[in-house]
């Protein structure tokens, strides 16, 4: 999760605490600062939970294919796999981007893997999946692509990017 999300959380939390301080009954009592503190802690915790859940990205490679969040690319559709370093990813996602490509990225993850889609029924030319460990992801995809139908490459790569501080 990017650092600036915490600034957004504070921008929301501070006015919430101020509302409790200004409008809470019995503000002249000694415990009013404690109520404001509890309200602030609860507000920040709720906002942090929401921001963390929104920043989560699950990427998994197993015998069923590549799973990026809720989308699945079956092993038979996986074509050439290309690791994208920061400058290349920026180019592929910017100037050279195609509108019909499938993207599973987060703005704070600067490396990715580009996967060619070999399914003639699928009009998507390629997927771009953001990862902080693109070499491992590409290796797992190449193992899956190269394995026979009976092999189970499960465990070849599993990246549950539980992005507490962004994706791994």
Same domain, 20 and 48: yes
Same domain, 34 and 105: no
Same domain, 75 and 46: no
Residue 80 to residues 46, 49, 73, Cα–Cα distance (Å) = 42, 37, 13
With tokens 């599973």, the residue in question is: 104
Give a yes or no: residue 168 inside a domain: no
Same domain, 89 and 133: yes
What is the extent of the structural domain holding 34?
Answer: 4-55
Alpha helices in 56-155 (DSSP H): 86-93, 134-146
Give a yes or no: residue 69 inside a domain: yes
Segment 47-59, tens digit of pLDDT: 888 877 777 778 8
Same domain, 98 and 18: no
Q: Is 129 exposed, middle or buried (0-12, 13-18, 19+ CB in 10 A)?
A: buried
Predicted pLDDT at 156: 44
Same domain, 157 and 109: yes
Task: Judge whether 131 and 109 are in contact, CB under 8 Å.
Answer: yes
User: How far apart, in whole angstroms, are the C-alpha atoms of residue 58 and residue 136?
Assistant: 15
Same domain, 18 and 82: no
Same domain, 74 and 153: yes
Judged against a pLDDT cut of 80, whether residue 116 lies above it is answered with yes
Segment 86-103, tens digit of pLDDT: 999 999 999 898 999 999
User: How far apart, in whole angstroms, are the C-alpha atoms of residue 125 and residue 99?
Assistant: 10
Reported pTM? 0.63
**How many domains is the chain built from?**
2
């Amino acid at each position: 999760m990017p650092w600036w999300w915490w600034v957004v959380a504070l921008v929301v939390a501070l006015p919430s605490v101020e509302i409790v301080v200004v409008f809470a009954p019995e503000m002249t009592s000694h415990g009013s600062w404690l109520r404001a503190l509890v309200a602030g802690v609860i507000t920040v915790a709720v906002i942090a939970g929401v921001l963390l859940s929104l920043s989560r990205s699950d990427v998994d490679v197993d015998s069923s294919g590549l799973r990026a969040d809720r989308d699945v690319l079956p092993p038979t559709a996986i074509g050439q796999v290309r690791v994208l370093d920061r400058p290349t990813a920026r180019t592929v996602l910017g100037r050279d981007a195609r509108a019909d490509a499938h993207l599973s990225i987060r703005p704070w993850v600067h490396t990715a893997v580009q996967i060619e889609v070999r399914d003639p029924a699928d009009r998507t030319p390629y997927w771009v999946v953001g990862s902080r460990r693109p070499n491992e992801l590409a290796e797992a995809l190449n193992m899956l692509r190269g394995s026979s139908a009976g092999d189970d490459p499960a465990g070849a790569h599993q990246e549950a990017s539980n992005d507490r501080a962004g994706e791994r």
